[in-house]
Amino acid sequence: MAMTNDTDRHVVVLAPMPLEMDAIVTAFGLSPTSDAKGAPWTGNVGNSHVTAIHIGMGPPLTRAALTRLFDESSPDHFHVDHVMIAGICGGLDPDLEVGTLINPEIIIEHSSGAAYRHTPPGDAPQSGKLMTTEGVTLDHGLSQRFLEEGCLGVDMESSAVAEVCEARGFPWSVYRCIGDRWLDNLLDARFVALTNPDGSGQTAEISRLIAAEPELAVKLERLSSDTTRAARLAAEAAVRGCLALES
């Protein structure tokens, strides 16, 4: 990774979940701006100054975070040249394994049908569509329909990034890696219900659930391993995208 103090570009990388924030901080080599919980992390990659922000999950929290970022009267405002979001997504295509990077041509918002063309920096091959939903979906029929419509993955934030950035005229890009697949049946609805809006889990409740049903521990362990690896691969792809801004 090339590093320089001659930074003239500001890239903001959004992390919906703590595990994604951890992966971004590591991949970009960032440092905390303060000891306060939720404080941004910053650093330099190539000729870009990078700020990573943990935003929480879903379109509303994503829109709110970007609105604060772009609002010149907000204390969270600063100059931005490019917005990235990096993290995991659900895989829809049975032929795409967990750990596969998704570089979609089109981002679709499920609730409205709005579509956004994805033009990330660099020359990594693009294919398919990425669907953004309001919440986690465990509906296999809906997942199959998304696949039939050409979607390779599903997440909960990317279309909101595209929506807000395009309305304000800011370039954006998406870096997603498959962390789980609907056909593997690892994501138990009870795990979803015990996930906080910021992406953290309700540890005590999850422990009680596993104590009552020990067989769930195997699923959770695999899911944790898969999503951690996917978050790392997505963050590393975002670093490559950041460096590609210089070409």
pLDDT 10s digits, 60-84: 999 999 999 998 887 777 789 999 9
What span, in angstroms and rounded, lies between the C-alpha atoms of 70 and 80? 8
Average pLDDT (205-212) is: 91
* Residue 228 binned pLDDT confidence (cut-offs 50, 70, 90): very high
Q: What is the CA radius of gyration of the chain?
A: 18
pLDDT band at 2 (very low <50, low <70, confident <90, very high): very low
Mean pLDDT of the chain: 92
- CATH architecture of residue range(s) 9-184+223-244: 3-Layer(aba) Sandwich (3.40)
* Nearest one of 238, 232, 236, 223 to 91, comparing CA atoms: 223
SS3 content of the chain, % helix, strand, coil (to 5): 35, 25, 40
Provide the pLDDT confidence category of residue 7 given band limits of 50, 70 and 90: low
Name the residue ranges covered by the structural domains of the chain.
9-184+223-244
Q: Mapping DSSP to helix (H, G, I), strand (E, B) and coil, where does residue 123 land?
A: coil
Please report the DSSP string for 201-243 in residue order.
B-HHHHHHHHHH-TTHHHHHHHHHHHHHHHHHHHHHHHHHHHH
Report, as an integer, the average pLDDT of 209-220: 90
pTM over 0.85: yes
Q: Are strands 151-155 and 129-132 parallel, antiparallel or unpaired?
A: parallel
Mean pLDDT for the stretch of residues 50-54: 97
Stronger pLDDT, 238 or 74, i.e. the higher one: 238
Residue 4 has pLDDT above 80, yes or no: no
